[in-house]
Amino acid sequence: MEKKSHYSKAKECFIDTEDAKKFIELDQSVYFLEKLKQTVKKPLKMILLYGEPGIGKSILLNRLYLELLKSNSNVHLFLSPILDEDNFTKTLYRKIFSRDENIDFNQFVDLVNKELSFNSTLILLDEAQLYSNSQMEKIRILSDTRKIKFVVSLHKTEQEDLIAKGHFQTRIWETIELKPPSMNELETYIKKKLLGKNLFNLANQFHKKHIKFIYKYTKGNYRETNKFLYHLFEIYEYYEKNKPSKINFSRISKKYLEMSAIKLGYIDV
């Protein structure tokens, strides 16, 4: 069996994932995770989590779900929106009550009021910007029961739209905004990713100037950084296979970094 090269392993580190187990503890992410954990204990109707795409909302929500599950069984996570209206009610019903009958929204609300206790259930909704207005209205009605609480995650621009919608203003009790990391934080992110796969050597080859180069183009956005490093190690993989003499195994190549930037369209040629 052929042994996987370091560069191939490194490349795989940077495939996009929302897997809570791959969550990396960075200053900001740890801070927000704790904050969310505290916030969901409060008797709020709704918590808004927002930030630009690729900033780590989904993975944070996943991680929150994973950690809350340890102590609380009444947490439910919806990673992708339930686009069909009828399906929406049915899915919630199934998740919360673990039953599988057809039920309309009014019946469902009655059931919630009858069977659930105050502030007992937490629902995490990712990609909330994709929900329709009527779905959002239903979420509002459910949160008004004070039995179900929602953590709603969405893109920054939509957050403004949502808050602008009058009927949400009074219900959003807490908002949490995720911001791009600092350069140091991005360095930690990259190195922790590599160290997670025992790629100590590669992690050590990243110096400040390399991080700076990457940061310049990705502005710290995690998804963009993932793409950048994925391409970088793909290039390494290629040269390792075809022209290994060209590779300097002791330091990250500026040339390959530039090639990645070209490939991603950061640099025009």
Residue 83 contact, options Mg ion, other proteins, ligand ATP, none, Cβ 5-8 Å cut-off depending on partner type: none
Residue 253: Cβ-neighbour burial (10 angstroms; 0-12, 13-18, 19+):
middle
Of the two residues 44 and 125, which places its CB atom closer to Mg ion in the complex? Answer: 125
Distance CA 99, CA 90 (A): 9
Of the two residues 13 and 261, which places its CB atom closer to other proteins in the complex? Answer: 261
Residue 262 contact, options other proteins, Mg ion, ligand ATP, none, Cβ 5-8 Å cut-off depending on partner type: other proteins
Residue 156 is inside which H or E element, if any? helix 156-164
58 binding Mg ion? (CB under 5 A): yes
Q: Degrees (nearest 5) of the Cα angle 141, 43, 87?
A: 35
Question: How many Cβ atoms sit within 10 Å of the Cβ of residue 206?
Answer: 17
Q: Binders of ligand ATP: how many residues, by CB under 6 A?
A: 20
Of the two residues 94 and 156, which places its CB atom closer to ligand ATP in the complex? Answer: 156
Query: Scanning residues 51 to 90, which ones bind ligand ATP (CB under 6 A)?
Result: 51, 53-59
18 binding ligand ATP? (CB under 6 A): yes
Residue 76 is inside which H or E element, if any? strand 75-78
Least distance CB 179 / ligand ATP (angstroms): 11
Least distance CB 58 / Mg ion (angstroms): 3
Query: Scanning residues 227 to 256, which ones bind other proteins (CB under 8 A)?
Result: 234-235, 238-239, 242, 255
Of the two residues 135 and 260, which places its CB atom closer to Mg ion in the complex? Answer: 135
* CA-wise closest residue to 48 among 132, 145, 134, 170: 170
Amino acid code (one letter) for 139? I
